[in-house]
Amino acid sequence: MGKGKRRSILVLVSLMVMALWLAACGDKKESGESASPATETVSPAATTTPAAETATEKKMTDGMGHEVVVPANPKNIIASYLEDYLVALGVKPAAQWSVANGIQDYLQDTLKGIPTIAYDLPYEAVASFSPDLLIIGSNSSVDGGKYDEYAKIAPTFVLGDEVNNDWRKALLKIGEVLNKSGEAQKVLDDYEQKVADAKTKLQAAAPDQSVAAIWLVQKQFYVVSDKMSSGAVLYNDLGMKVPNVVKEISASGKGNWNAISLEKLADLDADNIILVNSDKATGSEALNDPLWKSVPAVKNGKVFEYPASSSWLYYGPIASSQMVDNVLESIAK
């Protein structure tokens, strides 16, 4: 065989091999496999979870039965009075809840500088922030046709009362809405571990102790419910004893915090009192009343005072975590 003929055969064979290789590559690409050799080095970016890059808009049914098209990567979120959850998930809102001149002070390490929006979410104010997603807590917040008005501004997802009243459920649901379910579960797992450790420390330092959370505002005392707000942290999470007076007031009350008279406070059978003092700037006159001074925990020096700027008047993963820290610092010290 001549050299020219052999060269032609070799060229033909090479072309056939290359054609087969390219065909294999094409099959792999169509099936979603990489056409690169198995030993190819993966870039650092490919090793991270590309949640924001792969997320797509999705339809979700909210707590009131609305079908909501949630955008893939919302940038301007308004979730008034739900900022605790956003901060826990590493998200900054476009605007933060406010009432009168008050804001959620305990979140300001993260939210400082974020503009405020009135608690009742006026339509014009909401629209001025050009939100691409609204997350609303309670059913009553969208009563009277408000939902339809908000939905004209941006996709509006209502948690609904059942979810909104349980911060654990609210955290997981907001995590689902924002494509951050993994982050939400980690926040919850970390909190449960923190609570378990705190209960062990409390039982060692102050076994079987009872506690009541009292709020003083405009010379009126309120006691926290035994099943809601900070009461859920004290009694359900930390397992501290519920005083009889707290049980009685909670049974007839409807709110997170229920009014209690000084006469009833005098019967408060609590080993410890967490006092949230909103009257400090005006002199806290009610704390000079003889009836207050007759409360056993007051006489025993077992009142631990926190300002209204603390997390005790709020509810959520960050607020609850800070309350656990406060209890350990005061009662378990």
Measured CA to CA in angstroms, residue 67 lies from 1, 59, 72, 287 at distances of 77, 6, 16, 51
Shared-domain flag, residues 241 and 278:
yes
pTM summary value: 0.82
Q: What is the pLDDT of residues 98-150, one digit of tens each?
A: 998 799 999 999 999 999 999 999 999 999 999 999 999 999 999 999 999 99
What pLDDT does residue 101 have? 75
Residue type, 232: A
| Contact between 301 and 269 (Cβ < 8 Å) | no
User: How does strand 303-307 pair with strand 220-224?
Assistant: unpaired
In a domain, 105, yes or no: yes
Q: What is the pLDDT of residues 257-314, one digit of tens each?
A: 999 999 999 999 999 999 999 999 999 999 999 999 999 999 999 999 999 999 999 9
Number of Cβ atoms within 10 Å of the Cβ of 144: 8
The DSSP letter of residue 114 is P
Shared-domain flag, residues 249 and 222:
yes
Shared-domain flag, residues 86 and 111:
yes
In a domain, 15, yes or no: yes
Shared-domain flag, residues 238 and 324:
yes
Q: What is the mean predicted confidence (pLDDT) over 19-29?
A: 35
- The residue out of 148, 179, 210 marking a domain boundary is 179
Q: What is the CATH number for 71?
A: 3.40.50.1980
Shared-domain flag, residues 240 and 293:
yes
Length of the chain: 333
Shared-domain flag, residues 307 and 209:
yes
Shared-domain flag, residues 100 and 131:
yes
Query: Which residues span the domain enclosing 15?
Result: 3-35
Given a cut of 70, is residue 228 above it in pLDDT?
yes
For the record, the structure tokens of 149 come out as: 């008005």
- The residue out of 147, 179, 211 marking a domain boundary is 179
In a domain, 253, yes or no: yes
Given a cut of 50, is residue 174 above it in pLDDT?
yes
Shared-domain flag, residues 77 and 169:
yes
Nearest to 265 by CA among 331, 312, 221: 221
In a domain, 40, yes or no: no
What letters, b where the CB count within 10 A reaches 16 and e where it falls short, cover 50-64? eeeeebeeeeeebbb
In a domain, 87, yes or no: yes
Given a cut of 80, is residue 13 above it in pLDDT?
no
Q: How far apart are CA 106 and CA 327, in angstroms?
A: 16
Shared-domain flag, residues 203 and 170:
no
Coil/strand/helix, residue 137: coil
Shared-domain flag, residues 207 and 156:
no
Coil/strand/helix, residue 34: coil
Shared-domain flag, residues 326 and 208:
yes
For the record, the structure tokens of 333 come out as: 């010290």
Measured CA to CA in angstroms, residue 83 lies from 77, 178, 314 at distances of 10, 13, 11
Q: How far apart are CA 210 and CA 212, in angstroms?
A: 7
Please give the backbone phi and psi of residue 201, each rounded to the nearest 5 degrees, phi first: -65, -40
Given a cut of 80, is residue 94 above it in pLDDT?
yes
Given a cut of 90, is residue 151 above it in pLDDT?
yes
Given a cut of 90, is residue 46 above it in pLDDT?
no
Give percent helix, percent strand, percent coil of the chain, each to the nearest 5.
Answer: 50, 15, 35
User: What is the tally of structural domains in the chain?
Assistant: 3
Q: What is the mean predicted confidence (pLDDT) over 161-166?
A: 96
Q: How far apart are CA 261 and CA 221, in angstroms?
A: 7
- The residue out of 179, 214, 233 marking a domain boundary is 179
Q: How far apart are CA 179 and CA 187, in angstroms?
A: 14
Choice between 5 and 210, residue whose per-residue pLDDT is larger: 210
